[in-house]
């Protein structure tokens, strides 16, 4: 099994494929989000997550948050000096974080977060999970990606893939909802960072066309602005902000706060995302109209003002079908599932993709279960012998949409024995049962003896998309030829039956048939023979109709003669 991990600046999540479904794991308290916070108590082991976050206000120097801002960075970089963390340079110039009496690398601290997620995961599924897919922002450079991979390894994972966050979000949004070729913008406003990416999906593979953003713009900045505007602590500002996402006004500490005031304080900050969006579109050489979807991720995109703003920039309503906190982790888990090989390009079946039937006399396809029938299902038909004294019926099971048996796919064959009998006397029932697993059970019963013959066919519905497409395409392309051939074959079978019958009736009745009738009949029979030779379907049908009418009195006469 492979874990899918969103190692976020503010929050982290882990998921796994469970019997074909991506599921995110909750910790012992039922929470799926784990704060990316680590508390280093004066004595004892480091603590990760909610308890660490709670210690932040009282023990700021012992709690490390937002370590993602420092991973893979060098001390000289601006992002480091503005991080607010106490740091020193490692021997290679890389960042080391000073916490209490310790000096730790960002990957060592990230590894503690990953270890906690690993432990929660293993607790939840009861086995050890040693492989992982970990997401990183699209803008992460090689050093940041390598450091993230090292963090995974320190936590005991083999890192199978470092995946871009917007790609993960697009995977969660669903390949099935996008066409063969689609373009998606992913607008991700998290706690401390803003990322905008434009992706192109081409035959199941995503490519990041452009990415842009601001690594110091996020929900935290909104909290700071609100704290100032309202004169409250940042911690409280964050709580009020969340509450105002769902209502227009809230009461907090005997004060009332309005969403309209929040909007006014936040708009200038949210406005800053506009130029990144426009830049990202122009880098991708795309107009907003060329996008198939705008997907929102990141906790702050829950805010109504953010949604309105995105709608205005992109000239369309953003897609909010994804859980803003969970989309990236879900996508990482889906990627893990793809790597596990559990996802295969098969038609997802709850209906039969193609018709199932048997070959009947004259090489025709006789459909028993039509395509698009919901499974499980059962259907059957009764057949008779086409030739006198036949002592077995050979049943050829077919799949496909073509009229002639030979153009469909043979699935299996069985011989059903029955006592020799005159033509049309034997009765063989053929039943097709398609079970919930897609296995076709073919049952043939000679009704006279009650004897059953059974075969099971396992490959009845496991057909690739392409093969189904081709079969359907061919059935349309050859529709006229196919139908013509079926009608001709049916007419020929009728002629083969009628001509000998007419012959023997004429013989039996002898003189009783008036000369003009006799010569009219033999004239028609001549024409029918040449129509058969010329394979002229429409002539054959008309002539057989005429022969029917002309020979009707013969049948009556024959009957009278027999009775007399
Ligand atoms: P990251 O990817 O950086 O770890 P998240 O996607 O978890 O970040 O987003 C965290 C941010 O989302 C925080 O600033 C938090 O205040 C904000 N947030 C979460 N829920 C809400 C909400 N209901 N309304 C407004 N902001 C929210
Ligand atoms: Mg995130």
Please choose, from the candidates 30, 34, 29, 26, the residue with its C-alpha nearest in 3D space to the C-alpha of residue 10.
Answer: 34
Ligand 1 centroid–CA 126 distance in Å is 31
CB-CB contact of 222 with 198 (8 Å): no
pLDDT tens digit sequence for 406-425 = 999 888 888 888 778 777 76
Q: Is the dihedral of CA 243, 245, 251, 253 positive or negative?
A: positive
Confidence of residue 429 (pLDDT cuts 50, 70, 90): confident
pLDDT at 563: 60
* Domain span including residue 467: 356-477
Atom of ligand 1 nearest to the CA of 244: 24
How large a percentage of the chain has pLDDT more than 90?
Answer: 48
Q: How far apart are CA 102 and CA 96, in angstroms?
A: 9
pLDDT tens digit sequence for 32-59 = 999 999 999 999 999 999 999 999 989 9
Torsions phi, psi of 76, nearest 5?
Answer: -70, -15
Residues 334 and 383 in one domain: no
The residue contributing the CA closest to ligand 1 atom 6 is 298
To test the ligand 1 pocket, which listed residue (193, 219, 234, 250) has its Cβ within 8 A of the most ligand atoms? 219
The pLDDT of residue 31 is above 90: yes
Q: How far apart are CA 533 and CA 536, in angstroms?
A: 8
Residues 255 and 177 in one domain: no
Q: How far apart are CA 133 and CA 329, in angstroms?
A: 10
Total of domains in the chain? 4
pLDDT at 422: 73
Q: How far apart are CA 398 and CA 355, in angstroms?
A: 8
The pLDDT of residue 465 is above 90: no
Active site residue 340: no
Residues 448 and 301 in one domain: no
The pLDDT of residue 296 is above 90: yes
Q: How far apart are CA 339 and CA 76, in angstroms?
A: 38
Of the CA atoms within 13 Å of residue 378, those in its CB half-sphere come to 5
Torsions phi, psi of 165, nearest 5?
Answer: -55, -45
CB-CB contact of 134 with 7 (8 Å): yes
Question: Which of 287, 319, 349 finishes a domain?
Answer: 349
Residues 96 and 127 in one domain: yes
pLDDT at 350: 56
100 or 447, which is more confident? 100
pLDDT at 346: 41
| Active-site residue, selected from the candidate residues 108, 120, 160, 165 | 165
pLDDT at 501: 84
Ligand 1 centroid–CA 103 distance in Å is 29
pLDDT at 337: 85
300 lines ligand 1 (CB under 6 A): yes
Question: Which of 477, 500, 532 finishes a domain?
Answer: 477
Residues 29 and 46 in one domain: yes
Ligand 2 centroid–CA 44 distance in Å is 30
What CATH number does the domain containing 491 carry? 1.20.1270.10
| Active-site residue, selected from the candidate residues 188, 221, 326, 401 | 188
pLDDT tens digit sequence for 346-395 = 444 456 778 999 998 888 999 999 887 777 788 888 787 777 777 788 88
Residues 106 and 236 in one domain: no
Question: Which of 206, 238, 271 finishes a domain?
Answer: 271
Residues 330 and 278 in one domain: yes
Residues 61 and 202 in one domain: yes
What DSSP element (H or E) covers 252? strand 249-252
CB-CB contact of 97 with 109 (8 Å): yes
CB-CB contact of 298 with 129 (8 Å): no
Q: How far apart are CA 118 and CA 403, in angstroms?
A: 57
Please choose, from the candidates 163, 171, 195, the residue with its C-alpha nearest in 3D space to the C-alpha of residue 331.
Answer: 171
Rounded mean pLDDT, 302-306? 97
To test the ligand 1 pocket, which listed residue (50, 221, 300, 301) has its Cβ within 8 A of the most ligand atoms? 300
CB-CB contact of 135 with 64 (8 Å): no
Q: Which two tokens stand for residue 71?
A: 């991973």
Please choose, from the candidates 235, 333, 339, 321, the residue with its C-alpha nearest in 3D space to the C-alpha of residue 13.
Answer: 333
Ligand 1 centroid–CA 303 distance in Å is 9
pLDDT at 490: 86
Task: Select the highest-mean-pLDDT range: 25-29, 197-201, 258-262, 494-498.
Answer: 258-262
Query: Around ion ligand 2, which residues have CB less than 5 A away?
Result: 8, 190
Question: Locate tokens 């799926």: which residue?
Answer: 32
Q: Which ligand is nearest to the CA of 269?
A: 1
Please choose, from the candidates 371, 374, 377, the residue with its C-alpha nearest in 3D space to the C-alpha of residue 353.
Answer: 371
The pLDDT of residue 299 is above 50: yes
Residues 248 and 117 in one domain: no
Residues 239 and 343 in one domain: no
Q: Which ligand is nearest to the CA of 36?
A: 1
* Cα Rg of the chain, angstroms: 37
What CATH number does the domain containing 188 carry? 3.30.420.40
pLDDT at 276: 95
Confidence of residue 562 (pLDDT cuts 50, 70, 90): low
pLDDT at 564: 55
CB-CB contact of 212 with 276 (8 Å): yes
The residue contributing the CA closest to ligand 1 atom 13 is 191
Residues with Cβ within 8 Å of 176's Cβ and at least 6 positions away in sequence, in order, are none
The pLDDT of residue 3 is above 80: yes
Mean pLDDT over each residue of the chain, to the nearest integer: 87
Active site residue 415: no
pLDDT at 272: 96
307 lines ligand 1 (CB under 6 A): no
Active site residue 29: no
What CATH number does the domain containing 383 carry? 2.60.34.10
pLDDT at 348: 42
Torsions phi, psi of 63, nearest 5?
Answer: -115, 125
How big is the CA angle at 17 (ends 184 and 294), to the nearest 5 degrees?
Answer: 15
The pLDDT of residue 342 is above 70: no
193 lines ligand 1 (CB under 6 A): yes
CB-CB contact of 188 with 297 (8 Å): yes
Q: How far apart are CA 494 and CA 498, in angstroms?
A: 6
8 lines ligand 1 (CB under 6 A): yes
- Residues shown for the chain: 564
Residues with Cβ within 8 Å of 380's Cβ and at least 6 positions away in sequence, in order, are 368, 429, 430, 431, 432
Confidence of residue 462 (pLDDT cuts 50, 70, 90): low
Residues 101 and 244 in one domain: no
pTM of the complete model: 0.64
Rounded mean pLDDT, 228-246? 95
| Active-site residue, selected from the candidate residues 27, 68, 149, 241 | 68
Residues 95 and 244 in one domain: no
Q: Is 509 helix (H, G, I), strand (E, B) or coil?
A: helix
137 lines ligand 1 (CB under 6 A): no
């Amino acid at each position: 099994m492979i874990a899918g991990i969103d190692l976020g600046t503010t929050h982290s999540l882990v998921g796994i494929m469970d019997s074909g479904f991506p599921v995110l794991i909750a910790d012992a308290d039922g929470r799926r989000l784990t704060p990316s916070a680590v508390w280093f108590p004066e004595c004892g082991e480091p603590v990760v997550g909610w308890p660490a976050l709670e210690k932040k206000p009282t023990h700021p120097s012992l709690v490390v948050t937002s370590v993602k801002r420092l991973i893979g960075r060098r001390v000289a970089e601006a992002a480091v000096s503005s991080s607010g963390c106490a740091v020193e340079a490692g021997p290679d110039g890389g960042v080391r974080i000073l916490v209490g009496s310790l000096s730790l690398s960002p990957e060592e601290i990230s590894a503690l977060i990953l270890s906690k997620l690993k432990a929660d995961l293993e607790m939840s599924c009861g086995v050890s999970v040693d492989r992982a897919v970990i997401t990183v922002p699209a803008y992460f450079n090689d050093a940041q990606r390598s450091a993230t991979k090292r963090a995974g390894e320190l936590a005991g994972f083999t890192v199978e893939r470092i995946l871009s966050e917007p790609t993960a979000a697009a995977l969660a949004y669903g390949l099935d909802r996008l066409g063969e070729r689609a373009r998606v913008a992913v607008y991700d406003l998290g706690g401390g960072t803003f990322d905008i990416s434009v992706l192109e999906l081409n035959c199941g593979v995503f490519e990041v066309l452009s990415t842009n953003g601001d690594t110091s713009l996020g929900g935290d900045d909104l909290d700071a602005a609100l704290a100032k505007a309202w004169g409250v602590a940042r911690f409280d500002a964050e709580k009020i902000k969340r509450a105002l996402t769902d209502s227009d006004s809230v009461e907090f500490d005997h004060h009332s706060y309005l969403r309209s005031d929040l909007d006014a304080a936040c708009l200038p900050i949210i406005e800053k995302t506009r130029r990144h969006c426009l830049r990202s579109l122009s880098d991708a050489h795309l107009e907003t109209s060329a996008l198939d979807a705008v997907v929102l991720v990141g906790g702050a995109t829950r805010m109504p003002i953010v949604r309105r703003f995105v709608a205005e920039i992109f000239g369309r309503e953003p897609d909010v079908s994804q859980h803003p906190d969970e989309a990236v982790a879900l996508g990482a888990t889906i990627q893990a599932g793809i790597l596990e090989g559990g996802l295969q390009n098969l038609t997802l079946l709850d209906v039969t993709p193609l018709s199932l039937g048997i070959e009947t006399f004259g090489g025709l396809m006789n459909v028993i279960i039509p395509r698009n029938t919901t499974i499980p299902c059962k259907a059957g038909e009764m057949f008779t012998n086409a030739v006198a004294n036949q002592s077995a019926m050979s049943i050829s099971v077919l799949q496909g949409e073509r009229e002639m048996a030979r153009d469909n796919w043979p699935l299996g064959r069985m011989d059903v024995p029955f006592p020799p009998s005159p033509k049309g006397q034997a009765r063989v029932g053929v039943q097709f049962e398609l079970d919930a697993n897609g296995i076709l059970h073919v049952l043939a019963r000679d009704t006279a003896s009650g004897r059953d013959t059974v075969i099971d066919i396992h490959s009845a519905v496991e057909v690739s998309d392409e093969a189904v497409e081709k079969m359907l395409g061919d059935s349309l392309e050859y529709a006229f030829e196919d139908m013509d051939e079926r009608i001709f074959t049916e007419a020929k079978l009728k002629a083969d039956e009628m001509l000998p019958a007419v012959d023997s009736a004429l013989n039996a009745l002898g003189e009783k048939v008036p000369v003009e009738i006799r010569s009219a009949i033999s004239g028609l029979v001549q024409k029918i023979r040449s129509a058969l030779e010329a394979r002229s379907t429409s002539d054959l049908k008309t002539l057989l109709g005429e022969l029917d009418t002309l020979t009707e009195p013969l049948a009556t006469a024959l009957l009278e003669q027999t009775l007399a």
